[in-house]
Amino acid sequence: MKKTFTASNINCQNCANTIKVSLEDDFGPIEVDLSKSPKEVTVEISDDVAEETFKTEMADLGFKVIEEVK
C-alpha cells in the first residue's frame, strides 16, 4: 500500500535524490514532493515491519519521518 509521510531536513533535489538512490532498491519507486512544507515522501509499504525499516533508514540518512499524511 502506498503511504505518504512528512519528513524533516529535506531541502532540495539533492536530498530527494539521496533518498531515492539509497532506498529504491529496498522499497521500489519513491516520490518526494518538494513543493510541500514539510516535504512529503510517498513509498510503497507492505507491512508494519517495512514501515519501521523505512523510518529507520530515513533517519540513518538524516531525514526524520515526522508523521504519516492521512
Q: Please tell me the total count of domains within the chain.
A: 1
- Does the pLDDT of residue 11 top 90, yes or no? yes
pLDDT (0 to 100) of residue 25: 96
- With H, G, I as helix, E, B as strand and everything else as coil, classify residue 46: coil
What is the CATH number for 12? 3.30.70.100
- Mark residue 14 as left, alpha or beta (left: phi above 0; alpha: psi -120 to 50; beta: remaining): alpha
Looking at this protein, which amino acid is placed at residue 37?
S
Distance CA 8, CA 44 (A): 19
Domain boundaries, position 15: 2-68
In sequence order, the β-bridge partners of residue 6 are 40, 67
Share of the chain above pLDDT 70, in %: 100
Nearest to 51 by CA among 3, 8, 10: 3
Whether the model pTM is above 0.75: yes
24-41 pLDDT, tens digit per residue, is 999 999 999 999 999 999
